[in-house]
A and B are shown apart, each in its own frame.
Chain A
Amino acid sequence: GQQVMQIPQYQHVQEGEDFTTYCNSSTTLSNIQWYKQRPGGHPVFLIQLVKSGEVKKQKRLTFQFGEAKKNSSLHITATQTTDVGTYFCAGPGAGGTSYGKLTFGQGTILTVHP
């Protein structure tokens, strides 16, 4: 079945440093979504990428979708303590009636030291 691998599992940074998490799929993805989960909270949707090579920005966050649509990355510039949490990528399930169901990566836990 489809697997979505995410690295690193943990990342500790000093406030102001940059952060990047990477997501790789064993199959081509029609789209990829990114979610953020604050400690003790629930995942919250950040963005969806659909096109090959797509790049989207949300303030200090930059999301990229690979040319082959099998990998993606999330880059945060100049981290702040409010960026603390777990970042997940998620891809759609394969074929059949599985539209809408998502396979999540393991997540990257980001800690920001002030």
Chain B
Amino acid sequence: NAGVTQTPKFQVLKTGQSMTLQCAQDMNHEYMSWYRQDPGMGLRLIHYSVGAGITDQGEVPNGYNVSRSTTEDFPLRLLSAAPSQTSVYFCASSWSRDRVGSPLHFGNGTRLTVT
């Protein structure tokens, strides 16, 4: 199993450009999520999905869109990139069938710079 695969690893955008960060998992996990990591702020939840066709906002959703058409894929779209979106983005997945929760499996991350 490849686990959680993120592409690209690095990306540089100009302000106003749009792009999609790809995330795929092959573990048949119900739950998928996107986090951004900034120095001193830990990991902040952007959007998450509890199954195909179901998405919801996390702590910092503004400027990002997601969709979940299949169990495997959970792309993150930046609509109009801003310098404040310069960050490292992690996709994660887990079984999470109940409130006790289950471990998150993270992808290797995408380092995004917006100039």
Contacts and interface: CB of A to CB of B under 8 A. Distances in A.
Interface of A: 1, 6, 9, 30-31, 33, 35, 41-45, 48, 50, 88, 90, 92-93, 97-107
B79 to A, nearest CB: 22
Contact residues on B (Cβ < 8 Å of other chain), bracket: 20 to 34
A101 B103 contact: no
Contacts, number: 73
B42 A88 contact: yes
A42 B106 contact: yes
A-side interface mostly: loop
A45 B43 contact: no
B-side interface mostly: loop
Given A102-B104, A107-B42, 10 more contacts: A31-B101, A42-B109, A43-B43, A43-B104, A43-B106, A45-B104, A99-B96, A99-B98, A100-B102, A106-B41
Interface string B36-54: 0000111111001010000
